[in-house]
Structure 1
């Protein structure tokens, strides 16, 4: 049960409620993919989670960021990403100011390909959040005062546009987010710490998978892309991701196949080839093993769900219109 302390309690001891947050809490319009939230004096906050991505930039002060059971000191310049459905909280806050950028999950993939193909993007937005959820992994990116000041100018512009909910303002907000993401990715790639370097090696491996999904890839190819030996890659990859590189590649291929099955009536044999399976029967067996149904059944189930949702929406619209 969430506890609310008296407002007169000293700031460092006050705890505001947790309370899970959803996209509906913050995103007012269906085309709105970015929301900003500035906390100028962040109090302690109980554990909570949300179903969107949160990019956090610490502007001033200090405190402790709690992720699951791990406690991480934070201070000005620290920058990190919190993935969906990750329990986190703030404690021991002291003049803690931060800027939160809330992002719809699917929006990251619509950013300029030049940015999302950067190793720094994979490390900051994909690998670090996963590492923090699995292990007591400390965020690596801390902006220098100069870099923080530069980012500060951009987040001010982003905030102005994001506070508006017109389509044009939302489009401008996305443009500023791209600038911020690109800058942060370059900052990450320049870190040079042992942990960040390891993540960047793995990020290079995953980026190579993503760009060569239809090719026949072997562990040697992935190790070469990562700049590591096969043994080192396998060990580091499993410690970071919880899977072997080949297992991860298989799941990446099946995830892409799911997208293609839903997006078009393309024959299943062609989809299999496009995601790197040169034997359609083997593709079907792997899909059934890991997804619990055949690709054909998956497509039919998705079509059935789509028709049911469309019918429900039409029924609601008709009833709503009648009530007016």
Structure 2
């Protein structure tokens, strides 16, 4: 199914800002997204009805009712609604918790798209209900709302992973699950101690590995360097605090491990495309818009 909107575009479409953003769209032909540099977070798109197409490099995948596509950070991608009717989709931008690594192991295409084919009707109904709860809770400004949204998202990922494993069976092309407990424990430690000095050497010692072996194993298991993972963890914890609290930017910088508010602002702006102050203002405007709707 050829869709020229996967190839022709005048400008890049930036993803929605936020630590956890989700919505329910109904879109006709002409709707598209173009991200030649990928995104900083994960994107999950679940098709309720109709069809949409995704392109990564020269690979094109059509998503029909019940299909899910999961895009890891940094994967350049393009998507568009197809001409045959309306595309109804549920989507969420998110950063996975360390303990979710196994849930993200869906069948992988050659170009890096993670996919899950349509499960049976009861599982589809459960996924769609969990998505509705996720969307409603993600729009709440309270910490409780965010935590409930994460629980719904975890449920969705577990259902997709379980369903995919059953459907694919021995034919599955899924990437191997994260099995090395030393790396799993390291990810949890980074999430809980992001405000502390976290050098690769110190983390390697904690894991009982040489630094060179630790760096290699960490990259193999997560797809990122230790330093990149620590930086992203700190910045996204900061984004969550900016969204949900009124704490000063300098205080947040220290809380997530940056001694210099100036350096923190530079790193945050490079990652999110806006300063911490502008991000907080944007988050507040978005909450007010959601409340008005």
**TM-score, with normalisation over the residues of structure 1?**
0.47
Query: Which of 86, 99, 118 matches 1:119?
Result: 99
Counting only pairs closer than 5 Å after superposition, residues 16-27 of structure 1 correspond to structure 2 as 16=5, 18=9, 20-21=12-13
Report the alpha carbon displacement of residue 248 of structure 1 after superposing the two structures with TM. 3.5
Match of 1:208 in 2: 189
Equivalent residues of 1:34, 1:174 under 8 A apart: no
**Higher CA-based Rg:** 1
In the alignment, the residues of structure 1 paired with residue 117 and residue 154 of structure 2 have an alpha-carbon distance, to the nearest angstrom, of: 15
Match of 2:124 in 1: 148
Report the alpha carbon displacement of residue 94 of structure 1 after superposing the two structures with TM. 7.0
Equivalent residues of 2:22, 2:90 under 8 A apart: no
In the alignment, the residues of structure 2 paired with residue 99 and residue 209 of structure 1 have an alpha-carbon distance, to the nearest angstrom, of: 34
Equivalent residues of 1:66, 1:89 under 8 A apart: yes
**Which structure has the highest helix share of the two?**
1
Q: Cα deviation per residue 1:55-85 (whole Å; 9 max; x = unaligned)?
A: 3103357675212444445454432344699
Report the alpha carbon displacement of residue 249 of structure 1 after superposing the two structures with TM. 5.3
**Closer, same or farther in 2 for the Cα pair 1:79/1:73, shift >3 Å?**
same
* 1:79 lines up with 2:60 in the alignment: no
Report the alpha carbon displacement of residue 187 of structure 1 after superposing the two structures with TM. 2.9
Report the alpha carbon displacement of residue 36 of structure 1 after superposing the two structures with TM. 1.9
Report the alpha carbon displacement of residue 100 of structure 1 after superposing the two structures with TM. 3.0
Counting only pairs closer than 5 Å after superposition, residues 46-57 of structure 1 correspond to structure 2 as 48-49=34-35, 54-57=43-46
Q: Cα deviation per residue 1:12-60 (whole Å; 9 max; x = unaligned)?
A: 5564575644579xx9xx9x95432034xx6587662398975310335
Query: Which of 37, 40, 49 matches 2:25?
Result: 37
Q: Cα deviation per residue 1:218-271 (whole Å; 9 max; x = unaligned)?
A: 3253479xxxx98876445335656443x33553576489879x9455599xx4
Match of 1:279 in 2: none
Q: What stretches of structure 1 of length at least 5 have no aligned partner?
A: 1-11, 110-115, 276-282, 285-294, 310-324
Match of 1:298 in 2: 263
Query: Which of 70, 79, 96 matches 1:89?
Result: 79
CA RMSD in angstroms, aligned pairs only? 5.9
3-state SS of the aligned residue for 1:80? strand
Equivalent residues of 1:123, 1:200 under 8 A apart: no
**Closer, same or farther in 2 for the Cα pair 1:14/1:256, shift >3 Å?**
closer
Match of 2:203 in 1: 218
Q: Cα deviation per residue 1:165-195 (whole Å; 9 max; x = unaligned)?
A: xx88999997885454121232366466651
Counting only pairs closer than 5 Å after superposition, residues 127-206 of structure 1 correspond to structure 2 as 136-142=111-117, 144-145=119-120, 146-155=122-131, 177-178=149-150, 180-187=152-159, 190=162, 195-198=175-178, 205-206=186-187
Higher relative contact order (CA 8 A, sep 6+): 2
In the alignment, the residues of structure 2 paired with residue 67 and residue 300 of structure 1 have an alpha-carbon distance, to the nearest angstrom, of: 32
3-state SS of the aligned residue for 1:218? helix
Equivalent residues of 1:14, 1:43 under 8 A apart: no
In the alignment, the residues of structure 1 paired with residue 205 and residue 83 of structure 2 have an alpha-carbon distance, to the nearest angstrom, of: 47
